[in-house]
Amino acid sequence: MELIIKTKTEVRDPEGESIKMYAVNKVDSNVADVRAGKYLLFKLEADTCENALNRVKEIAEKARLYNPIIQEIQVRLS
């Protein structure tokens, strides 16, 4: 299972802005925006894909792997 944590679109992303300014723009100045995030890969056993998705969401919430006020998560099969 993949857990992707990213800053909500309405929230400023200083890390993404820095990456765009100091790295991406040197290669291609036509890139409009860069957003940074985190990617976590979980290997777990579950009887269904839905149960696995729910377990990873629960882990992310209970372990406070992200801040739901400024971040959002996406869980998907890898």
Q: 26-53: per-residue pLDDT in tens?
A: 999 999 999 999 999 999 999 999 999 9
Query: Is 2-76 CATH 3.30.1280.10?
Result: yes
Task: Give the mean pLDDT of 6-22.
Answer: 97
Q: How many CB atoms lie within 10 A of CB 55?
A: 16
Model pTM score: 0.85
d(CA 51, CA 30): 42
pLDDT over 90 (residue 63): yes
The percentage of the chain sitting over the pLDDT mark of 90, rounded to a whole number, equals 99
- β partners of residue 19: none
Average model confidence (pLDDT) across the chain: 97
Instruction: State residue 78's pLDDT score.
Output: 86
